[in-house]
Amino acid sequence: MGRGRVELKRIENKINRQVTFSKRRNGLLKKAYELSVLCDAEIALIIFSNRGKLFEFSSSGMTKTLERYQRCCFIPHDNTHEHETQSWYQEVIKLNAKYEALQRTQRHLLGEDLGPLNMKELHNLEKQLEGALARARQRKTQIMMEQMDDLRKKVLS
């Protein structure tokens, strides 16, 4: 007769959880050892308990196996952090430039800081403002028409 399936969920009872951890950890370490002996496999197993205690098994030296793993992943470990930092730095520079451009545009639209603009830029700004004014007037007219319709309906009711 076989064992029943165990539902995989966190064990709430602290003592039962610790007992289960110890038994399963020992089983995992035993299986890793057996696999390394039977199949001549290079194995490294690292386990941290919920309290941070380290348990490990290595068939041919943990450092050697981890170095081999890093070489296989084709990730130069030292350059990864530096490359990531450089990417974030470039992203920050781009975002700062966009932010400054948006602030400058906002000041121009508010009629501030117009001194450095040339004739073409002033003309483009004028067109933008005229377009914005036209849209604002159109929306204002639409709202007024809707209000007038509502008032007519109330008067006729």
Query: For the whole model, what pTM was predicted?
Result: 0.45
* Residue 78 pLDDT: 60
* Residue 70 pLDDT: 82
* Residue 117 pLDDT: 85
Map out the domains of the chain as residue ranges: 14-74, 117-157
Backbone dihedral region for residue 43 (phi beyond 0: left; psi -120 to 50: alpha; all else: beta): beta
For 44, the enclosing helix (H) or strand (E) is: strand 44-48
* Residue 74 pLDDT: 63
Residue 46's DSSP bridge partners are 56
pLDDT 10s per residue in the chain (157 long)?
A: 567 787 889 999 999 999 999 999 999 999 999 999 999 999 999 999 888 898 999 998 888 888 888 888 765 556 677 778 888 888 988 898 899 889 988 988 888 888 888 999 899 999 999 999 999 999 999 999 999 999 999 998 8
- CATH fold group of domain 14-74: SRF-like (3.40.1810)
Tell me the CA end-to-end span of the chain in Å, nearest whole number.
83
CB atoms within 10 A of CB 44: 19
